[in-house]
Copies of this chain bind each other. A is one copy, B any other.
Amino acid sequence: MSGAPRSPGLASPRPLGEVRLARAALTYLAEPGDPVLGALLAVCDPAEVLAAIKADTPPEVSQIGLAGQIGRASRAALGRALARWRVRLPKLPADAGIADASRDGIRLVCPGDAEWPSVLDQLGPARPYALWLRGNADLRFACPRSVSVVGSRAATSYGVHVTGEIAADLGERGWAVVSGGAYGIDAAAHRGALAAEGVTIAVLACGVDYPYPAGHADLFAAICAQGLVVSEWPPGSRPARTRFLTRNRVIAALACGTVIVEAGERSGALNTARHAADLGKPLMAVPGPVTSAQSAGCHRIIREWSATCVTRAAEIIEMLSPLSTPDPLAPGGSPQPSRAVMLSPDDDAPCRDDLDADCARVLDALPARGGAGTSTIAVEAGVDLDTVLRCLGQLASLGFIERCDRGWRLRRHSRS
């Protein structure tokens, strides 16, 4: 991934405060989705939890509070968990090392950060401790108009073709495509979105700098340039079989809905489908020849899980549109609520009057006709490049603007 262009602004690391540094450290010590750590973080400060692990002393939480959060877990289970996490202490980098990791275009995003996608809070105790990101898109602004498109690694030419068409069409219509970065359907989904100059997000089961699969180094570089590579594991982490399954819940949770394009009867894509269904998110599947084993999983979830049969991007968007309009910037579980952009109740379209000052300025800076590049807009709006990028992402996700050959332009309907 050394070929990935440096992020021009969004990826410049924020200084890690004590809490964020602790969350970063926890991604080194505990596997994501650890129910004991999830429960602890719901009632304790991350820095206290980290200190407790280092001291090998359970953190100071009331028995009742802890029991209420971690359910059946006893003090003994907490002790075992501490021992489990302590195993990795010798490999935990020093604070300076962790800070180093969040450089070179890699950034840490924690609950409460502006870029934290509140949809992840739906995962409850299984919520990621933090996310490591690499790339130029804004995760929070991409999520409200995003679709997970996943499927078999052993895809057929039919599956690859159909995935590419659907992902490109989604990208052209301003929807971000979330997938897992694997060979086969995942790669076709990312490539289709990239071809349409859309945003695409690869959620990996290894570090965002770890070249797996090795053949996808160029693909990941292209994704970083135009979208995001995301991981719950710290930089340098290797993939593992169980990590793919753990990762799948994040693919399902980030997007408004999940589409399975090809999946054999035992494909890991069905695990992602299960997570989407469990989260109450729309689950869709693309049918294929009944003579193809790679479509058998799709047909089964249509028949048995009531997945919606979809054949093209327009049908996918039709399924998701009622869900994509609610306030994408609502604070959710964020302890530092930011100002929410309200949607006007009449037409479900975002209202210009509710944009924050920077976004309103950037929107005003776009020419009435034709498009403009990012730096032109920055000069016109009088804001720095970081802010322009953030605002453009937000305005695009709200449907005010869209990409064009010459950069960005107003969308017609937003001018009425």
Contact = CB atoms under 8 A, between A and B. Distances in A.
A386 B303 CA distance: 43
A270 to B, nearest CB: 15
A251 to B, nearest CB: 22
Nearest to A304: B309
A290 B291 contact: no
A299 B315 CA distance: 11
A308 interface: yes
Interface in A25-70: none
Most buried by B among A286, A287, A288, A296: A287
Nearest to A288: B289
A201 to B, nearest CB: 24
A161 interface: yes
A261 to B, nearest CB: 10
A290 B312 CA distance: 8
A288 B286 CA distance: 10
A310 interface: yes
Interface in A300-349: 302-303, 308-312, 315
Contacts of A308: 303
Nearest to A311: B290
A308 B310 CA distance: 14
A315 B303 contact: yes
Contacts of A309: 287, 299, 302-303, 309
A286 B287 CA distance: 9
Number of copies of this chain that the complex holds: 2
Given A299-B309, A309-B299, A161 B286 contact: no
A231 B398 CA distance: 59
Interface size class of A (residues with CB under 8 A): 20 to 34
Do most interface residues of chain A lie in helix, strand or loop, or is the interface mixed? mixed
Contacts of A291: 158, 161-162
A296 B287 CA distance: 11
Contact of A296 (B162, B303, B311): B311
A169 to B, nearest CB: 12
Contacts of A315: 303
Nearest to A286: B290
Interface string A271-308: 00000000000000011111100011001001100001
A271 to B, nearest CB: 21
Contacts of A161: 291
A25 B161 CA distance: 58
Contacts of A312: 290
Interface string A120-134: 000000000000000
Contacts of A158: 289, 291
A379 to B, nearest CB: 45
A291 B286 CA distance: 11
Nearest to A307: B309
Contacts of A295: 287
B288 A311 contact: no
Most buried by B among A286, A289, A290, A315: A290
Contacts of A299: 287, 309, 311
Interface of A: 158, 161-162, 286-291, 295-296, 299, 302-303, 308-312, 315
Given A288-B288, A289-B289, A303-B308, 16 more contacts: A158-B289, A161-B291, A162-B291, A287-B287, A287-B288, A287-B289, A287-B290, A287-B295, A287-B302, A287-B309, A288-B289, A290-B311, A299-B311, A302-B302, A302-B309, A303-B310
5 contacts: A286-B290, A287-B295, A287-B299, A288-B288, A303-B310
